[in-house]
Amino acid sequence: MHKRGVALILSAPSGAGKTTLSHRMMSRMRNIQPSISTTTRLPRPGEVHGKDYLFTDMAQFKREVAQENFLEWAEVFGNCYGTSRESVESMLASGSDVVLDIDWQGARQVREKMADQDVVSIFIAPPSLEVLRSRLEARGQDDAEVINHRMDQASSEMSHWDEYDYMVVNDDLEQACQQLIAIIQAERLRTRRVGEVAQAILNAEPGGRDR
């Protein structure tokens, strides 16, 4: 029985392990795929158009914004990023759950534009800000000034945790992954999402024939 997919919003401060966690979760589940963001920034080495991002120029991006083709969009350090409404709607209509990797501001936009549809939001949190700083330092990618800026951003982002349906604390990666999978499995079984399945069961006669 065909069932519409669920839009799954995942948000987290940088260093909380959201990307690793979502990849592990999606590798273990069926009928779930990531939303591919549109961006105006140039591709980085190894990035593939249509797989990592949908790369475009600023003029085209602004036309898409004017036509309200994005569920959410934002400008970050001079580059724009957006989530295609058409792409997400197409995947949901096909029965696939869709993971939207966006921040709390994008999450607000999506909830507003998809208020009458199935949206589930999950905030991925570190066990503490001290652990988060340690993770950022261990990556060895940023200097102290950048790390301090990321920590300021993390504090701001975490202040919005209560806007989400669920919060998963990523202290142990495997445990957090299992919790994320459990949330998705439970959401797929909500009665408002399985109405057609229930009606098919009720209308079926013994032997598999419908009345």
Q: Which of 28-32, 113-117, 140-144, 166-170 has the lowest mean pLDDT?
A: 113-117
List domains and CATH numbers for the chain. Answer: 7-202 (3.40.50.300)
Mean pLDDT within 123-140: 92
When the pLDDT of each residue in the chain is averaged and rounded to a whole number, the result is 91
Residues in the chain: 211
Query: Does 198 have pLDDT greater than 80?
Result: no
In the chain, what percentage of residues exceed pLDDT 90?
A: 77
- Can you give the pLDDT at residue 77? 79
- Reported as a single tens digit per residue, the pLDDT across 93-122 is 999 999 999 999 999 999 999 977 789 999
Distance (Å, whole) CA 173 – CA 156: 23
